[in-house]
Amino acid sequence: MRLVVALTGSSGVIYGIEILRILRRLDIETHLIISKWGERNIQIETDHPVDFVKSLASKCYSNDNMAAPIASGSFKTDGMVIVPCSMKTLSSISNGYDDNLISRAAGVCIKESRALVIVPRETPLSRIHLHNMIRLAEIGVIVLPAMPGFYHRPKSINDIIAHIVGKILDQFGIEHKVYRRWGDAA
């Protein structure tokens, strides 16, 4: 399996870091793009150096590199996850404004009918945000807001993070035991 992973300038980069950790552990090939503000949020929200986060991926690209393999539909992937997905990035994708590698790679997934999962992290949501999400959902993009459930009785922030990460993995059909599912024994 080969997935594109993007981290953008929204709060919640820990979700993206954790998905990279798990995909690496599962030996899934990852192609990573981090926006400028995604890098800044790694510095603000975590104790991880940006280079450490990049080291979790199989391959990394600059968001300015429009010649990267993932900018072309002829480069086969199983899909893409943008986690967290800023409202700027969401708007760019929704409006087909492929001005950087993240939005271009997402556009490739859309045009090639590949799985695209966006994990918006904003609250409250404006009507503009909602319209952009609806537009994407109507064409098959999975909109998976970072809204954890609590039926698994999280005991820590890591448990809450794991719930969202597990939901993302589910969208790609990746088997995992990242969180306790509804109906599973405690």
Answer whether residue 135 shows pLDDT above 90: yes
Least-confidence region, from 11-25, 29-43, 51-65, 151-165: 151-165
Task: Tell me the residue range of the domain where 29 lies.
Answer: 2-171
CB atoms < 10 A from the CB of 112, how many?
A: 15
The answer as to whether 91 is a domain residue is yes
The answer as to whether 151 is a domain residue is yes
The answer as to whether 48 is a domain residue is yes
Closest to 76 in 3D by CA, of 3, 170, 175? 3
CATH of the domain at 90: 3.40.50.1950
The answer as to whether 182 is a domain residue is no
The answer as to whether 180 is a domain residue is no
Q: Do you know the residue count of the chain?
A: 186
The answer as to whether 184 is a domain residue is no
pTM of the model: 0.96
Answer whether residue 185 shows pLDDT above 80: no
The answer as to whether 54 is a domain residue is yes
* Confidence (pLDDT) at 170: 97
Number of domains the chain contains = 1
Q: Quote the percentage of the chain above a pLDDT of 90.
A: 91
